[in-house]
A and B are shown apart, each in its own frame.
Chain A
């Protein structure tokens, strides 16, 4: 039996104010849902994509307490340690404080080998691309103590637009220059992140440039190393290596706390409290509230159209056809609103990632999140349309025709 779909479309259009407000509520709810879920998945992804053969050594006191520089050689003596690199958060900004960037001082001769699964060099000095780019960058880093490699996001972003060969001045906040001037870094390469725990807007520079400048008294700031990143040799148990490293420094001068890379990144997430639960609760509550609003809209609409249902039954439309009409109208309404909300979440993801800057540089709206959003949209449509559809199907034609609605 056929369904008069023209009526669903026409009612949605004729009652444009009611339709518009309901659609707007759905857009906001689904957008917010996607945004909040994406925050959580982005944080979780950084943990999930952490390397399983890598551990991070930090001070047992706090992440903000530097480790002695001579620890590196001792860590490298621990059985099972394949390679280590220093990691020092620089905390500088470009031109103005709003342009805050993530910069790390690393061991330039080790870092790119240790992180070859996370970082791909896409361009080297002189415009070298392809397989040769990586070695060209390593050579350039070795030749220039001010050399740095930047993420491709900083090349694309018109606010920065950095390019190979350019000297990038960065004002140090943790390590200010004694004369108040900016640190200068020469761009020798561009990288592309290969995993979700790596963003495309970081600057990697030579740790020894920072260290030597501090030693020369040309800049102030803590002396030492933020963390050591340690790759474990194949066939060795990370738990044993972790225990051995921490045992090595148990007597000081600075006790260490070694964790897997995943645990280290999870600690960052937990620093924000039980964010996933909090965010999930808000997202769920918003969607739940909007669902009631849509149910109310559909019940109102169905009630006002009782008489029309009677007319259609008198013309020969079946109970099932009229149930489908009401359910279909509910689905059209929710898919319009929910679909727009999901689309908005998807198209604004790039802008938000840029807006988050270093705080959440890998923010993405994953296809899975959009699918969940679509499922919720369809669910709201079914729930909102079910009661009116059942009522419309059960109505007696004579009773419906007597109705004033």
Chain B
């Protein structure tokens, strides 16, 4: 069963008086527990898909259903509330709040959940332990390396136990070793915590961690995204 279902989705932007069609009648299904890598040239619509699925933006045409909810018909207020329960975001630039510590950053989405202070704290510490940063929880983002910052961002994304994690170029600002570590971590979330992951990336090596890779160009999917057997076997071996 598809946890993400996009049907005939079109998204246009107005730029300098011209209309730019970023997504063109796109159909996409992502089954629950899938790990999908979205690849394609800049401007092909990869990040737009994440924004639409996460309810950060709205489509011009088509229907988007995520975790059983028709996102395309929700109000901004409903989307915010829905997002806090179902979606975890990981961004290329980490997007941590600089004035807060790692722990406080992870606590941010938990404040929206019906939990006691102690429960929130426990859950945030658990999320940080998953990404291996328990010993850095009281550090501010400036005191962490890029790889550590991204791990805090991942901890924040999983803290409230969402169904889906959307990652937009999560390794784009990292060196190779850190990028590998982050992709391994995302892979673990998929395998061990059964999270559905949609990752936008330009990095072929990063995409190899996914169960399947979808290629986009000019707002259209080029294939159905079946992973090559060798890649799938390598991923399974990890």
Contact = CB atoms under 8 A, between A and B. Distances in A.
Interface in A1-32: 1-2, 4, 6-7, 10-11, 14
Nearest to B100: A10
A316 B81 contact: yes
B100 A319 contact: no
Given A314-B89, A317-B112, A6 B100 contact: yes
B97 A316 contact: no
B83 A316 contact: yes
B143 interface: no
A311 B76 CA distance: 15
Interface residues of A, number: 25
Interface in B169-193: none
B56 A315 contact: no
B83 A319 contact: no
B112 A7 contact: no
Interface in A287-315: 307-308, 310-315
A398 B51 CA distance: 8
B99 interface: yes
A14 B81 CA distance: 29
Contacts of B80: 1, 313, 316-319
B169 to A, nearest CB: 13
B83 A396 contact: no
B123 to A, nearest CB: 15
A336 interface: no
A397 interface: yes
Interface stretch (B66-74, B103-111, B126-134): B103-111
B81 A315 contact: no
B133 to A, nearest CB: 18
B56 A311 contact: no
B161 to A, nearest CB: 13
A5 B43 CA distance: 37
A308 B97 contact: yes
Interface in A165-205: none
A401 interface: yes
A2 B111 CA distance: 7
Interface residues of B, number: 26
Nearest to A314: B89
A282 B203 CA distance: 65
Contacts of A319: 76-77, 80
B99 A11 contact: yes
Contact of B95 (A14, A318, A401): A401
B27 interface: no
A117 to B, nearest CB: 60
A318 B89 contact: no
Interface in A242-257: none
A311 B57 contact: no
Contacts of B104: 6
Interface string B118-161: 00000000000000000000000000000000000000100000
Contacts of B100: 6-7, 10
Contact of B57 (A4, A7, A308, A396): A396
Interface string B13-57: 000000000000000000000000000000000000001001011
A316 B56 contact: no
Interface of B: 51, 54, 56-57, 76-77, 80-85, 87, 89, 91, 95-97, 99-100, 104, 108-109, 111-112, 156
Interface of A: 1-2, 4, 6-7, 10-11, 14, 307-308, 310-320, 396-398, 401
9 contacts: A4-B111, A7-B99, A314-B83, A315-B109, A315-B156, A316-B81, A320-B77, A398-B51, A398-B57
Given A1-B81, A307-B95, 4 more contacts: A314-B56, A315-B112, A316-B84, A319-B80
